[in-house]
A = this chain, B = another copy of it.
Amino acid sequence: MSERVSGEEALIQGYLAPLAQGAPGAFGLRDDCAVVTVPSGCDLVVKTDPVVAGVHFLGDDPPEDIAWKALAVNVSDLVAKGASPMAYLLALALPEAPTDDFMRRLASGLGEAQAAFGCCLVGGDTDRTPGPLTLSVTAMGSVPSGRMVRRGAAQPGDRLLVLGSLGDAALGLRLRREPSLAAVWGLDPTDVAALVGRYLRPRPDVRLAALILKQARAAMDLSDGLVKDLGRMCATSGVGARIDAAVVPLTAALRRAVKAAPELLELVLTGGDDYVPMVAVPPAHVAGLLADLPPDAIAADIGEITAGSTIEIMGPDRRPMRFARSGWDHF
């Protein structure tokens, strides 16, 4: 067991301040507030989505992955709005004085994540808590003024696309809890590692922000499952949708699992933790979006926005699917 860190100052200056070096407005984490300068002609886009042990991650997930996820889930929301990440705050609530090893690993995961997403720690807070480990990130990004891509702007006739594969994290979490499922689902250790990896480290692709800003009429981050989040986009936009579950993009490992256990398709569509943008795009913009897509990115046209309020999800058997549970709700 490595030594415990003693004192808030040692914790902040020893482990977190190096993450703030690139941001002059962080003042080396030696002030009470941070300054963020929004580029002229831009709006600030903000999001806060805490991750809590036992709710959003497992208590024994590696600290570097917990840290990565805490930032990634917030950056993912910015990207889906067409915003470029700039800075973030971290409020860290620790159930006990952390060890040196824990803090090093946490900071290393944050460092990797902020390098991948192009943003910088600028401030935050550390507390002891009688509750579970909680990382509350507030992420800030910029979009040209008045241009944030809304959830509620979809129009009948728009094509509906997802910009990434779905279901990996939901299956990854199941596998992390019940490793024996790998055999049932016909997955080899490489598949399992890939799926668990998607659960541990969601990888929002910040390159998509510019694309979404340019081509999408409406957009949102898929985090509570496609079915539930599509319902939200439709309700807010006052529209319906018709999508085809058979064309939802799945990784090779996931296709194998769904082939072995077809009932897993429901988990793919409702399990959540995808952190992939869903966009409603005017038909005339689809070709442009696909043309601008980075070569290693995934996009699939899964259906269309319709008039009315009905959401129809066509199953692989060409019949509408019904769901026992549409997605994640805390209450």
Residues of A at under 8 Å CB distance from B? 5-8, 10-11, 25, 27, 30-38, 40, 43-50, 52-55, 77-78, 80-81, 83, 89, 91, 93-94, 97, 122-132, 134, 136, 138, 140, 143, 145, 148, 150-152, 220-221, 236, 329-331
- List of B residues within 8 angstroms of A128 by Cβ: 55, 330-331
User: Do the beta carbons of B331 and A46 come within 8 Å of each other?
Assistant: no
In whole angstroms, what is the CA distance A127 to B38 when docked? 29
Nearest B residue to A12 via CB reads: B331
Nearest B residue to A130 via CB reads: B54
User: Do the beta carbons of A331 and B48 come within 8 Å of each other?
Assistant: no
9 contacts between A and B (CB under 8 A): A27-B150, A27-B152, A34-B45, A36-B46, A37-B43, A50-B93, A53-B130, A54-B130, A131-B134
**Least Cβ–Cβ distance between A72 and chain B, in angstroms:** 15
Q: Per DSSP, are chain A's interface residues mostly helix, strand or loop, or mixed?
A: mixed
The 8 Å CB contact of A6, one of B50, B93, B97, B331, is: B331
- Give this chain's copy count: 2
**Least Cβ–Cβ distance between A143 and chain B, in angstroms:** 8
- 9 additional A-B pairs beyond A5-B331, A34-B46, A38-B44, beta carbons within 8 Å, are A27-B150, A33-B47, A33-B77, A48-B48, A48-B91, A49-B91, A52-B93, A130-B131, A131-B132
User: Do the beta carbons of B134 and A47 come within 8 Å of each other?
Assistant: no
The 8 Å CB contact of A31, one of B10, B126, B151, is: B151
In whole angstroms, what is the CA distance A5 to B130 when docked? 25
In whole angstroms, what is the CA distance A27 to B232 when docked? 14
In whole angstroms, what is the CA distance A25 to B145 when docked? 11
**Least Cβ–Cβ distance between A193 and chain B, in angstroms:** 28
The 8 Å CB contact of A36, one of B11, B44, B221, is: B44
- List of B residues within 8 angstroms of A38 by Cβ: 38, 44
User: Do the beta carbons of A35 and B148 come within 8 Å of each other?
Assistant: yes
User: Do the beta carbons of B31 and A152 come within 8 Å of each other?
Assistant: yes
- List of B residues within 8 angstroms of A97 by Cβ: 331
- List of B residues within 8 angstroms of A81 by Cβ: 31-33
User: Do the beta carbons of B132 and A129 come within 8 Å of each other?
Assistant: yes
Interface centre among A40, A47, A143 (most CB of B within 10 A): A47
